[in-house]
Amino acid sequence: MNSDRRYPEAISGSFPTPPLSFDDKQGREIEIRPYDGSEAEYEALAEMYVEFDPEDRAQGIPPGKESRIRTWLDGILADDCYNIIAWDGDVAAGHATLVPDTNGDHFELAIFVLQDYQQAGIGTSLIESLLGYGKSVGITKVWLTVERWNHPAVSLYKKVGFETTGAENFELEMAIRIGEAE
């Protein structure tokens, strides 16, 4: 991706740092915590993506087939990435991730919420918690792309402080600054 990506001048904040828990709009107790690297959490995530409605895929992710889901997860759950999971008991209801660019000082964000758990406030909590988690480990610049017709996602990103930084392609590019540059 282009290395001359633009970021807002102003630093957004303040975001909560996981682990945290709350009751969603359906009254389910949801806990958000960083991915612990265990096989059990990996398998719960794989299961969430196998269940994922293809209609909610964005720009080819999550992939459709289980084998490709696992290859994709291996990439984004690597040691240089930051992942948090929203749990309903032992069911992974949502997942958000920060994946470094090749030059390593900015991170691409993505967030997925399982269909049964959408529109319950989990997405907002997940993204705020992920930015809080990122900030706590020293990340300052986060970007994403989103399909321009995906209005619910675009308004969620705006609500937490993302600004549109690129609008010349099919996808909107948005970015946020969450800490002082070193």
Partner 1 sequence: MDVLVGIGSPDESVAALERSARQAAATGDDVTVAIVGDHTAEARERLAADAAAVADDAAIEISVRQVEGNPGSQLVDIAEDEGFDELVIGGGSTSPMGKITIGSTAEFVLLNAHTTVTLVR
Binding residue (CB under 8 A) for partner 1 from 3, 38, 102, 155: 102
Q: Give residues 26-65 in contact with partner 1 (rule: CB under 8 A).
A: 58-61, 63
Give the footprint of partner 1 on residues 139-168 (CB under 8 A): 145, 168
Identity of the residue, 32 or 69, whose beta carbon is nearer to partner 1 in the bound complex: 69
11 with 180: CB under 8 angstroms? yes
CA angle 127, 156, 96 (to 5 degrees): 25
Give Cβ neighbours of residue 100 (< 8 Å, ≥ 6 apart).
80, 81, 106, 107, 108
Smallest distance, partner 1 to C-beta of residue 180, A: 23
Closest distance to partner 1 from the beta carbon of 173 (Å) = 9
Draw the binding track, 106-125, toward partner 1 (x: CB under 8 A; -: no contact). --x-x---------------
100 touches partner 1 (CB under 8 A): yes
As a whole number of angstroms, the distance between CA 149 and CA 176 comes to: 20
Shortest Å distance, C-beta 7 to partner 1: 16
DSSP H stretches of helix in 64-136 = 66-76, 122-136
H-run or E-run covering 40: helix 39-51
Least distance to partner 1, CB of residue 13, Å: 23
Burial tier of 125 (Cβ tally within 10 Å: 0-12, 13-18, 19+): buried
Residue 149 vs 170, nearer CB to partner 1: 170
3-class DSSP assignment, residue 55: helix
- Looking at the Cβ atoms of 110 and 122, the one nearer to partner 1 is 110
Write the Ramachandran bin of 60: left for phi over 0, alpha for psi from -120 to 50, otherwise beta: left
Tokens at 10, concatenated: 């102003």
Work out how close the CB of 22 gets to partner 1 at its nearest, in angstroms, rounded to a whole number: 26
- Number of residues interacting with partner 1: please give it, by CB under 8 A: 21
Chain residues binding partner 1 by CB under 8 A are 1, 58-61, 63, 72, 75-76, 97, 99-102, 108, 110, 145, 168-171
